Amino acid sequence: MQRSIAQAKNFARDENGITALEYGLLAGLITVLLIASMQIIGTGLQTVFQDIASAV
User: What is the spatial distance between Cα 30 and Cα 23, in angstroms, rounded to a whole number?
Assistant: 10
Give the sign of the dihedral formed by CA 26, CA 27, CA 31, CA 34: positive
- The verdict on residue 2 lying in a domain is no
Terminal-residue alpha carbon distance, the chain: 82
Query: What is the model's pLDDT at position 45?
Result: 87
Query: What is the model's pLDDT at position 26?
Result: 94
What range defines the domain where residue 48 resides? 15-55
H-type helices in 1-56, by residue range? 2-13, 16-55
**Mean pLDDT for back-to-back runs of 10 residues, the chain (56 residues):** 80 72 92 93 88 91
- The verdict on residue 8 lying in a domain is no
Query: What is the model's pLDDT at position 30?
Result: 97
- The verdict on residue 3 lying in a domain is no
pTM greater than 0.75 (yes/no): no
For residue 8, what is the DSSP state? H
- The verdict on residue 45 lying in a domain is yes
- The verdict on residue 4 lying in a domain is no
Q: How many domains does the chain have?
A: 1
- The verdict on residue 51 lying in a domain is yes
Query: What is the model's pLDDT at position 33?
Result: 96
Name the CA radius of gyration of the chain, rounded.
25
- The verdict on residue 10 lying in a domain is no
Query: What is the model's pLDDT at position 15?
Result: 67
